[in-house]
């Protein structure tokens, strides 16, 4: 076994991705925690895995989602710190929505920043996710009352890349729906502009209403429509080689 996969929140898209990687990438071993009590997984899973992942000389690469506090894990397990460490962001805690009645918990975003600093490669599932995280670091760190660290974005950014979450049918999402013939109508915001051409986007509620009203009057527009975007780049066939390269490259020589 050469690739160690650790998933602290083994459910939803997190589970789908690591299951796919374990299925498609040779010599992988997977350690997980159930997908419940997310906040406690983010706080405490590093200690759990430090005690439950056996020591092995066969590991070369460590792949984990950003729920795991990678900094704590590598401090508790220096042997894992020597591996090539790949951190994957399904979502980021610097901009992840919180209820209006709650304040954002500083510690979760701070942990993700620290994890990026110790990771060798930081992978995001979209350009929006990557840019929203990186460009929010400076403002986020200003919450520290004094002695703030500096230049963290410039340190982390060179490690970052985008690898889209792969489509693997019959999973359910907007992309699969479009692949099956549905017409996408999405806000011109978040990740949608990097996925769908401009004609499938709306900027205001009024624009959405007019588009829907027109479709009700002219349903033939939808029935005859052929999607003009490109779905192939999100398929596992297109992404397989990139993920394999990510998880089969040897660690840095200086490690």
Secondary structure (3-state) at 168: coil
Which domains, from first to last, does the chain contain?
3-166+236-248 (3.40.50.2000), 174-233 (no CATH)
Q: For residue 223, what pLDDT is reported?
A: 85
Beta strands in the chain (DSSP E): 3-10, 28-34, 61-65, 84-89, 121-124, 160-162, 186-187, 201-202
Q: For residue 232, what pLDDT is reported?
A: 80
Q: Judge contact between 88 and 65, C-beta under 8 A.
A: yes
Q: For residue 173, what pLDDT is reported?
A: 64
- 109-122 per-position pLDDT tens digit: 999 999 999 999 99
Q: For residue 97, what pLDDT is reported?
A: 57
Distance in angstroms (rounded) separating the CA atoms of residues 91 and 238? 22
- 68-98 per-position pLDDT tens digit: 999 999 999 999 999 999 999 998 989 875 5
- 20-70 per-position pLDDT tens digit: 999 998 899 999 999 999 999 999 999 999 999 999 999 999 999 999 999
Secondary structure (3-state) at 239: helix
Phi-psi bin for 157: left (phi > 0), alpha (psi -120 to 50), beta?
A: alpha
């Amino acid at each position: 076994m050469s690739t160690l996969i650790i998933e602290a929140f083994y459910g939803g898209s997190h589970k789908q991705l690591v299951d796919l990687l374990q299925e498609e990438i040779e010599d992988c071993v997977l350690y997980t925690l159930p997908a419940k009590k997310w906040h406690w997984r983010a706080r405490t899973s590093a200690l759990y895995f430090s005690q439950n992942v056996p020591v092995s000389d066969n590991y070369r690469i460590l792949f984990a989602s950003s729920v795991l506090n990678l900094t704590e894990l590598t401090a508790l397990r220096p042997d894992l710190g020597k591996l090539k460490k790949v951190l994957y962001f399904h979502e980021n805690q610097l901009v992840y929505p919180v209820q209006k009645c709650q304040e954002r918990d500083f510690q979760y975003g701070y942990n993700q920043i620290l994890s990026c600093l110790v990771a060798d490669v930081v992978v995001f599932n979209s350009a929006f996710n990557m840019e929203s995280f990186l460009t929010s670091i400076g403002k986020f760190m200003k919450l520290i009352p004094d002695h703030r660290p500096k230049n963290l974005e410039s340190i982390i950014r060179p490690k970052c890349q985008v690898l889209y979450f792969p489509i693997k049918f019959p999973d359910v999402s907007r992309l699969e729906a479009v692949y099956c013939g549905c017409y996408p109508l999405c806000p011109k915001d978040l990740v949608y502009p990097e996925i769908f051409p401009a004609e499938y986007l709306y900027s205001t509620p009024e624009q959405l209403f007019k588009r829907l009203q027109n479709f009700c009057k002219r349903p033939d527009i939808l029935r005859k429509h052929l999607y003009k975007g490109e779905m192939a780049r999100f398929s596992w066939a297109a992404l397989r080689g990139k993920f394999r390269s990510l998880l089969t490259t040897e660690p840095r020589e200086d490690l």
